[in-house]
């Protein structure tokens, strides 16, 4: 389980690959409309206001998409959450992946 420290900015990074015709896996480049949102359950709807993050492709690392959740948005949007929650990575119309997170009161340096 991953952790997110309230009041700290958090950068999401998601690398996407696709199968090329020769069956090699290559970076999935040029995608738009990718987002991350927080949900109380896997494959659920966005549950916490202000925690949706838009992802954009890193020009230096094709196929890697990043976005930042500001600490202030995390603190207000996840206030009162004491259980684990899900972070869902989405393309328009589909869920690409999800991770389970917990909230840490302070930033841990070992993770």
Q: Which domain CATH number covers 26?
A: 2.60.40.1930
Instruction: Count CA within 13 A, CB hemisphere, residue 51.
Output: 26
CB-hemisphere CA count at 13 Å for 1? 11
Query: Is the pLDDT assigned to residue 78 strictly greater than 70?
Result: yes
Paired strand residues for 103: 4
The number of domains in the chain is: 1
Q: What is the pLDDT of residues 2-61, one digit of tens each?
A: 888 777 888 999 998 888 888 888 899 999 999 998 888 888 888 888 889 999 999 999
Mean pLDDT of 96-106: 82
- Is 82 inside a domain boundary? yes
110 occurs within a structural domain? no
Q: Count CA atoms closer than 13 A to 3's CA, side-chain side.
A: 14
Q: Containing domain of residue 52, as a range?
A: 2-104
pTM of the model: 0.80
Residue 111 lies inside a defined structural domain of this protein: no
CB 48 within 8 A of CB 78: yes
Whether 25 maps to a domain, the answer reads yes
Q: Taking 80 as the threshold, does the pLDDT of residue 82 lie above it?
A: no
How far, in whole angstroms, is CA 46 from its chain's centroid? 12
109 in any annotated domain: no
Token reading at 100: 């389970």
Residue 27 lies in a domain: yes
């Amino acid at each position: 389980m991953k952790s997110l420290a309230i009041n700290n900015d958090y950068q999401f990074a998601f690398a996407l690959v696709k199968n090329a015709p020769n069956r090699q896996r290559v970076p999935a480049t040029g995608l738009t409309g990718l987002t991350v949102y927080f949900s109380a359950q896997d494959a659920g709807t966005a549950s916490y206001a202000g925690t949706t993050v838009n992802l954009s492709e890193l020009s230096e690392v094709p196929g890697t998409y990043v976005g930042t959740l500001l600490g202030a948005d995390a603190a207000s949007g996840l206030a009162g959450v004491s259980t684990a929650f899900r972070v869902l990575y989405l393309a328009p119309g589909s869920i690409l992946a999800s991770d389970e997170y917990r909230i840490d009161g302070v930033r841990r340096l070992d993770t």
